[in-house]
Amino acid sequence: MVLLGHIDTVPGEISVRVARSPLSPHSQVLFGRGSVDAKGPLSAFVDAVAGCGAMPGWQMVVIGAVGEEQDSPGAQHVLPLYHPEAAIIGGPSGWERVTLDYKGSAWVLLMVRRSLSHTAGQDESAYEAVLRAWETIKAKAAVLNLEREKAFNRLQLSLRGMDSGGDGFEEWASLRVGARLPLDLPPQRWYEQLSGDPQLAGIPGISFQPVGFNIHKSHLSDPLRLIRMLVAARLAYLWMVCQGLWVIAEKKTGLIDRTDRIDKSLFRLGLDWIKFALKRNLDVEPIFRFQPVLSNVNVRKRKK
């Protein structure tokens, strides 16, 4: 099983410091490059694997990949190294939320090359042609989205970069186009639609180059099996979170608290309780309801 997080940082210099949170006078915030964006899930992965320990027949791999916000070079590097039965992706959804689905993204470098045209002539330049291609793609996305009210089900386009140049004989212009894809439009089909569109193909000198992660090269080739695995993983995660809330509401945290740390996630509380109950032949029933608890009940002081 692969547990994949990412360790991206933003460019620039940000001094590392701990300061009082502007949202809560009783909380502190860590500032610095790389201090946010999915560091919580990555830490939870490490904690969970360390807590589970060795399991016969299983290899648990925790990965902090780079470039998640760009071309996913980290994920592409590890893709041929592991063929996992399951992969769990950590994202910054908030400790109180469970992400059931996440829209995939597909980037493409759209380029037009053609002979240099004189500025006094009426020929379309490469720069004008690439903008015409962008407008064509946006119009087709608008048609696709007509009957789709929810943003999650829509094809969402964004223009992420542009460049141009020439050598005196030939000119070229390129656009870097990002697309957030709905579930019924996988990346490979999106790329095929772009390259096979008659309007776009009618623009002389146009080309499309996929950028980033190519899902069709992965080993997750059976959609039905993948969907079933994801449904089971979501239900199991919800069960653990609800079980953790139950542990707090029933004041049973003292039975499963570790002595060398002062806090656990709701998921970890639920998982530890299941292990505790199974070892002692206690009855365990799946819980899928959220228990009302006090807002500060999960704050525990270190025992002296």
The residues that are catalytic are 8, 68
Contact indicator for 3, 84 with CB cutoff of 8 Å: no
- Cα separation, 292 vs 241, in Å, equals 13
Residues paired with residue 180 on neighbouring β-strands, in sequence order = 105, 156
DSSP code of residue 7: -
In the numeric block, the tokens 């500060």 are attached to: 296
Element (H or E) spanning 108, and its range? strand 104-115
30: left (phi over 0), alpha (psi -120 to 50) or beta: beta
Name 292's Cβ contacts closer than 8 Å, sequence gap at least 6.
249
- Cα separation, 177 vs 108, in Å, equals 5
DSSP code of residue 253: G
CA distances from 213 to 21, 33, 210, 219 (A): 37, 25, 9, 13
- Cα separation, 254 vs 268, in Å, equals 14
Residue whose C-alpha is closest to residue 58's, from 1, 139, 141: 1
